[in-house]
Amino acid sequence: MFDFVLLFEKEYEKKDGKIQITSQYPEGIEFLDREIIEKLCIPRKLKKSDIFMFNTPNSYCYTYSFVSRISHKSGNQIRKKCSIVIISSHFRPSLFIDFLASVSMSFSRNEAEPLCRFVLVQSLLISWSTNNDGDLIVNYPYNTFIVSLNDNQSWTNGFNIAPLFPYVDNIWNAAIRNKGILIYAPTSALASSSTLAIFSIIEPFVYSEPYLNCTQRGDPRISKVYEHYEKTQSFEIEGPLLEMLSQYKIISTTDQKLFHFLSNLIVNSQYPNHLFRNPSQNSMNDSISDSQVDSFADPNNPTPPGTFLSSNSLFKAVIKINEKHFVHMNDLKSVYTKKTRRIIRQFNALLNFSLLSDPYFDILHKHVEETEFTRIWPNENRKELYADFQNTMTFKKWRHIESDREQLRTSFLSVPPKEAVEKVPPELCKEAIKQIHLILNAHKRDEHFGTILKLNLSLLKKKIKNVK
């Protein structure tokens, strides 16, 4: 469930002081993305403690950062900024963040040394195990829980959507369509949880686009952004810098300077696929506060100006959060999870309809034509959303997982093999053969289905020879 546990320390007074790894488990094994982890594990504005998640190209990093105050024999107090980082290849934010929160609570009344905290985290993680049902037995400082590891388990459901109110609809739309989202928050915990809350409102889809959760100054992935701005004091970008930034569809940060630059971007006109925004139009305001948060249900209450949203920049939605405390808005979250499930039902209907005449439609990831959206739902203005969504990696991964279903078998059994293979473009024949082999391996005991699949294989191989 975890790969490494690390303890980082640095002197409190030195803002840009060197961060050192003082403990590691397991020892003596090099871990990936070390430079990124060292730069992000301790928030630059850390005052007391913060629990958050950031991501690297290869891992998820669940982080408990805190200020250690240890009294010296001389009577002086030694202060250090410390961070315990759990590195894992598994996306389990609700599990690890809740676990680290319980660890933090267990030390709330005493100033334990950083090593003591590290040893507690390490020993508890090592004690985790699985039962006969494949569930995870999780040991916290004072409790033990059983956590399901099945595919339907949500790992983001507990994160609050309130910091993004009242623009949740804009953000949901941007996330579904793979448009840029930029978030500033005053703490790492809030920046991280806001990103995870976005993931929660598009479940059961798993957000699969590149993103930077809880980045800050020093992150080597965006170091050129700082260099460009400090050198030119210009908001205009192009070339490699534009390509680098364009790949990240969600960026959350606690760094005001980075946020200021990204929220005022002007994209060079030679790149026609990007639109423009005049930075003078920017008017960032405070996010919605506790006293206003319950007003979302009142249709007569005007929307407070908490977020600047632009459709003419690299980021479809830009949000600045200045508050630190919010009430939970579970009812509002359920509205958007229902909207997401509705998309699933509608796409399933479209894909199943296409399978009636083409068994290869799903496994070769063929596009649903836009005319099909309006033909099936003529009264809905959803064509643009569906057209964008089916090009996202989020949709493609979901579609791949869902492709081997009962409708696929029915399609292969009902459409004559010759007719089915005719619908496979010559350039996709090799991929079709690969997918047929995968389906055969998954249905070894289904002799009738296997016979039809083998007939398809034979015809696909002949088609490749004829093309040559």
d(CA 118, CA 120): 5
Average pLDDT of the segment spanning 173-194: 95
Per-residue CA distances from 200 to 20, 22, 94, 396 (Å): 34, 35, 11, 18
Copy the structure tokens of residue 164. Answer: 């993004």
CB distance 122 to 58 below 8 Å: no
| 62: enclosing H helix or E strand | strand 60-71
Sheet hosting strand 317-320, strand order edge to edge: 211-215, 250-253, 181-184, 317-320
Q: What does the pLDDT average to over 371-396?
A: 79
Lowest mean pLDDT among 187-191, 301-305, 372-376, 443-447: 301-305
For the entire predicted model, the pTM comes to 0.87
Residue keyed to tokens 């301790």: 42
Burial (0-12, 13-18, 19+ Cβ within 10 Å), 307: buried
Buried b or exposed e, range 409-428, using 16+ CB within 10 angstroms: bebbeebebeebbebbeeeb
Tokens (6 digits) for 74 = 């001389």
What is the rounded distance in angstroms from the CA atom of residue 364 to the CA atom of residue 400? 9
pLDDT, position 374: 73
Question: Are 221 and 36 contacting, i.e. CB atoms less than 8 angstroms apart?
Answer: yes
Q: What is the model's pLDDT at position 297? A: 36
Grade residue 327 by pLDDT with cuts at 50, 70 and 90: confident
From 236-250, 309-323, 348-362, 422-436, the region with the lowest mean pLDDT? 309-323
**Confidence bin at 285 (pLDDT 50/70/90):** very low
The contacts found for 366-375 with CB under 8 angstroms, 24 or more apart, are none
Question: Averaged over 439-450, what is the pLDDT?
Answer: 96
Show the beta-strand stretches assigned E in 200-307: 211-215, 236-237, 250-253, 266-267
Instruction: Please list, in sequence order, all residues whose beta carbon lies within 8 angstroms of the beta carbon of residue 357, skipping any fewer than 6 positions away.
Output: 415, 423
* Three-state secondary-structure class, residue 362: coil
Q: What is the pLDDT of residue 325?
A: 82
Residue listed under structure tokens 């609809």: 169
pLDDT at 296: 40
Average pLDDT of every residue of the chain: 86
Does position 404 have pLDDT exceeding 50, yes or no? Answer: yes
Under DSSP, is residue 433 helix (H, G, I), strand (E, B) or coil? Answer: helix
Where helices occur in 177-280 by DSSP H, the ranges are 188-201, 223-232, 239-246, 256-263
Q: Are 118 and 5 in contact (CB under 8 A)?
A: yes
Output the pLDDT for position 51.
Answer: 98
Give the chain's count of helices (H) and strands (E).
16, 14
Q: What is the pLDDT of residues 141-168, one digit of tens each?
A: 999 999 999 888 899 999 999 999 888 9
CA–CA dist 287, 190 (Å, integer): 12
Is the distance from CB of 213 to CB of 183 less than 8 angstroms? Answer: no
pLDDT, tens digit (0-9, with 9 covering 90-100), for 44-84: 989 889 999 999 999 999 999 999 887 666 667 778 999 99
Q: How far is residue 251's CA from residue 195's CA, in Å, rounded to a whole number?
A: 8
CA distances from 248 to 59, 209, 213 (A): 16, 7, 10
302 has pLDDT over 90: no
280 versus 386: the higher-pLDDT residue is 386
Per-residue pLDDT at 45: 85
